[in-house]
Structures are given as structure tokens and as C-alpha cells.
Amino acid sequence: MKDKNIINSSIYWDGRFEEDWESREGPRQSRFFSHIAIENLPPWLLKEINRNSYSLVDWGCAQGDGTDVWASYMDSEHISGVDFSAVAIEQAMQRYPAIRFIAQDWVANRSCGEQFDVVFSSNTLEHFHKPYDVLESISTHAKKAVILALPYRESERIDEHFYSFLPENIPSVLTNGFRLTWCRVVDCRSLPNTLWGGDQVILIYGEPKWLDGLGLTLADCLVDVVDTKSEIKQLSLDIDQREAKLSAASQLIEMQTQQIESLGQQAADNAIQLSQIKEKHHVLVNEKEKETVLLKNSVVEKLEENNLLKDLINKKLDEIIVLRNFVHESKEEIEILKSTVNQKDGEIFKLNQAVIDRDRWLEEYNRQMLTLKGSRSWRITSPLRMIGAALKSPSAPSANMQESPPQASAVATQDESSPLWRKRLVYLASRYRNGIQKHGLVRSVPLALRASHRLGSVWLNKQVRRKSYEQKLVQLRKIITGHADFIDIFHVPMGWSTPLFQRFQHMSLQAAQLGGLALYGGHLQVDKDLFVFNRAEGNVIVFDALDDQVVKCVFDALATVKQSKMLRLQSIDLA
């Protein structure tokens, strides 16, 4: 990094203009920034300059490239360029002989040099540690207007930039009384062939009497803090991308639905084919059984014929052979049975060992379960398991849900003595059913999960911060009982932080300004940081109207005070 002590000296810039100004695209940048500035000026200013032949000077003109851009918009005879570098002025005079260039240091010597109707400066003030001291010097040379083009909201400055211009440090009036009448922000990132990767701000300061004499209207003035056109364009691109993703997802779902239907048809066809194969198999089995019976009958007949032909001796010999064979086969069967018995004994031993191992595992499992159920994490996550069980219960909504009969609604309605967690479950189930009817089953799932997460987080926060919760209840009671003037209480199903400040919020503010204590019922879906109560503005107290204990605390405290009380209720159609 270059030494900041000499970076803005004449020696430094003379060296830059002689050595590397062109290789580092200095001329192109000068023309680029001048084009940006001029193209974003109000039309009335250029008309006024040309109609009255105003003189214009480009302060910090370098080699005159940005000054030459002005010659395309006004007569070059009325254009001048000023720079404290004699090297740059010499180069500018050689490049653009039709334009007048002057080597003067307006910062070091404020009184030197003449005055011009309009002083223009493009991307020069950011090179100074105290740019507004420099601006005070150069503005003394302007009769009617000062035009500035500056890098805007430059969070990561380059080496030669020593100041970042922000909405919080740009003045509306200069020290010479010139007032800001035009401010336009340009996002250079999206421009073709851009030479600046950030924003530029174009400022016009005018002499008050001159501005008043122009008779400008509101349409002729502009004060931007952001480039709204670029932001709208980017938002439109984001919307198009999301719609494309949604369309692709819909097509994918449709393709998967078609695949499921095709698989279902294939399964039905396979079932028919299997049924046909079973029928054929049954017919073949019956035919084979009939053939077997016939063969058996034939064998019996042949044996009977053979037995008739044999004599008694052969019969006896056959009987002896049969008996011997039977004895031999019986011995083999006995050996096989013994082997089988041994195998079964081994299997029984293994099964007994497995039963012993299972009993040991069950004992260890029961011991770990007892340890887990006695742990703090098990108690903390109990509400989440209850919510999961409630959503899995028969009363939870399904894809084929219908309107529940009046008896089911009566059961779902909890009396005042029901615990808060049960009311929250009933509330979530009701919201989920309504969400399915309004948004459909798939789109209602993330909405229900966010609502469950929000209420679960609030409940868990109250359990973890129980001591703080009870202290906040005591503070709320003290605020109500300690107020000496009237008390206004108001609740509507929209929280305090609802966008577009509504009339019921204005009414609470008005009540507080009249000396009353305004108690406003908040809603956790909107007032995300609400914990028991928050003091919104002055005597406006926003309390958690979804918490029964907080509501009871409020009304118990109201019952003890004798001041006038106003209870306002309002119904809003949120469909």
C-alpha cells in the first residue's frame, strides 16, 4: 500500500500521469464517470446551462477525458478544466485543444482562480481525508451550482480513497448556503462494460436565489438513497427464478404422479397374471394327482398277480428278506434320529444362551431408560413429544379430513381450567385444519411447523427463564397499580409490530400522550421479542395477550385500581 502522506501530493499525481495513468485505464474511467453523472442529471439543468450559455469548470480534470464528455452536451467554448498537476494540464491541452485547461491549486489557495456558473467534480473528493473542507474551497468558485459525482457506500475502499460517502454524512446544505436539490444513486454493477463495481451518487447543490428563480416543482427534484430501479430489477429476477423453480417442482410432481399411476397399473396387471398362473398350476396338480392314483392302482394289481404266481417258499423267503431289510433300515433311522437329537440339543443350548443375553440387554435397556426419563433433557423435551403425539392422534388433520361435527368442536373447546399446553395444542390443531382448508395439505405443513416452533420456543423460553418471567409479572402489576391517571386497554388479533401502522395503534399512542396508561394486547406471531410485556413508547405497554397468566395478572391488577378504565375491543376480518 502506498504512503498516505504523499498520495495526494502534486509529486505523486505528476508521477501517475507520466507513468501509469493510461495503463491503469485512467482516461476510460474519467469518461465512464462523466457519462454516468451527465446522463443522470435532471433535464432542466442541461436546458438551463445551454439556454443561458453558462460557464462550467471540471475541477480535478486530470488529462481532460471526462471534461471532453461535457463537450457533447454543451458548447466547448464555455467549458474549462482545472487540475493542480501541471503535467496533467499539459497532456489535456494536447489532447483536447478546443477546451480551455488551467493549472491551479484551489485547495491550497482558495482565493486563486476565477468564478464559474457551474463547478463539476467527478470522483475526486474521496481522495481527501477531510473532503468537506475541500468542497468548501471549490464551492467558492461556483456562482449558481455545484455538481458532484462520488463513490457511494464504499465499504471496502481502494488504496487511494480515504473517505466513504454515506447517507448519514452527506450534507443537505453547503457552508456557502447552496442547498441540495438533486440526489440520484446509480448501481454501476449492472451496467454494460462497467468500470466501477459499486454505487455512484450524483449530487446537485444550487444557489438559493437562483433555484427559487427557476420555479422548480416537486417533479424536477429528486433525493434517492438507493438505486430503486436496480433493486426492482433484481427483485423481478428473483421472482422469475422462484417461479421457474416452482414450475419445475410442479412438473416433477406431475411426472412422479404419472409414474405412480403407471406402477399401480403394472401392479394390477401383475396381480391378474399371478392369478392366471395359480389357476394353471392348480389344474396341473390335479391332473398329476389323478395320474399318480392310476399308477398306484396298476402297481397293486401287478403285485397281486406276482404273489399268486409265487409259491409259499418264495413268500417266506421274501418275508425274511423284507424283515432283514426292515431291521437294517430301522438301525439307520435310529442313527439319524440320534444325530438329529444331538443337533436339537445344540440348538436348544444356543437358544437358552440367547434368552440369557436378551434378558441382560433388557435389564440394561430398562436401566438406561430410567436414567434418560429422569434427566433434565427428557423433561425439557416433554412438550415436543406431547405436540408430536397430538398431531399423530385421530383428531389431527389428514388429507381426507372433513368438517368436524358440533360434538367434536365442543370436545375441542377447553374450559378455563385446562392447562396452557393443552390449549396450545388445540390452537395448533385448529390452525392446521384451517390452513389445510385455505392452503391445501402440502403448503400448510411448513406453516404449521413454523407456528409449532414459535409457540414451543416461547413456552420453552418461559420455562428456562421462569424466575425472570415471574419478576416481569410483578413489574407489570406494579406499573398498572402505580399509574395515577386513566387506563386504556385494547386487544385486537393483530400485534403491535404489524406493518403499516394502523388506527388502533394510533389510538393507543394518543391515549398515552393524554396521560393515560395504554395496555395493548400483543401477538407472538408479530411481536417476536415479546416476553410478558414490553414498553413500546412512553406509557404504551404491549403485553402477551396469548398467555393466560399475563392476562390474569393484568385484570387482577385492574380490579385493584380505582382510576377510570376504558376497554376497547375490535374485530378484524383476517380471511
CA distance linking residue 7 with residue 13, whole number of Å:
8
The 10s digit of each residue's pLDDT in 479-516 is 999 998 999 998 776 788 887 777 878 888 888 999 99
Residues 191 and 104 in one domain: yes
Biggest CA–CA distance in the chain, Å, is: 158
Among residues 427, 462, 497, the one where a domain terminates is: 462
**Interval 52-70 mean pLDDT:** 96
**Interval 441-454 mean pLDDT:** 66
Residue 232 lies in a domain: no
Residue 51 lies in a domain: yes
Residue 207 lies in a domain: yes
Of 59-63, 441-445, 471-475, least confident by mean pLDDT is 441-445
The 10s digit of each residue's pLDDT in 145-165 is 999 999 999 988 988 899 999
Residue 147: what are its φ and ψ, rounded to 5°? -110, 125
The 10s digit of each residue's pLDDT in 229-258 is 656 665 666 677 777 788 887 888 888 888
Residue 234 lies in a domain: no
Residues 40 and 136 in one domain: yes
Residues 409 and 347 in one domain: no
* Helical (H) or strand (E) element with 465: none
Among residues 166, 200, 226, the one where a domain terminates is: 226
Mean pLDDT of the chain: 83
* Helical (H) or strand (E) element with 151: strand 142-152
> Over pLDDT 70: what percentage of the chain?
83
Strands 100-103 and 533-535: unpaired
Residues 299 and 317 in one domain: no
Residues 278 and 353 in one domain: no
Residues 111 and 172 in one domain: yes
The 10s digit of each residue's pLDDT in 263-278 is 888 888 888 988 888 8
Residue 233 lies in a domain: no
Name the domain count of the chain.
Answer: 5
Who has greater pLDDT, 275 or 133?
A: 133
Residues 558 and 441 in one domain: no
CA distance linking residue 479 with residue 496, whole number of Å:
19
Q: In angstroms, how far is the first alpha carbon of the chain from the final one?
A: 62
Residues 295 and 319 in one domain: no
**Interval 196-200 mean pLDDT:** 92
Residues 349 and 210 in one domain: no
Reported residue count of the chain is 575
Structural domain of residue 419, as residue ranges? 382-462
**Interval 1-9 mean pLDDT:** 57
**Model pLDDT, residue 420:** 55
Of 329-333, 475-479, 540-544, least confident by mean pLDDT is 329-333
Residues 257 and 168 in one domain: no
- Please give the distance of CA 231 from its chain centroid, rounded to a whole number: 17
pTM to 2 decimal places: 0.43
Residue 1 lies in a domain: no
Among residues 398, 432, 462, the one where a domain terminates is: 462
Residue 502 lies in a domain: yes
Residues 399 and 518 in one domain: no
C-alpha grid cell for residue 145?
A: 451550482
Residues 83 and 213 in one domain: yes
Q: Count of alpha carbons within 13 Å of 200, Cβ hemisphere only?
A: 29
The 10s digit of each residue's pLDDT in 160-180 is 899 999 999 999 999 999 999
DSSP assignment string, 318-383: HHHHHHHHHHHHHHHHHHHHHHHHHHHHHHHHHHHHHHHHHHHHHHHHHHHHHHHHTSHHHHHTHH
**Model pLDDT, residue 94:** 96
Residue 3 lies in a domain: no
CA distance linking residue 73 with residue 78, whole number of Å:
11
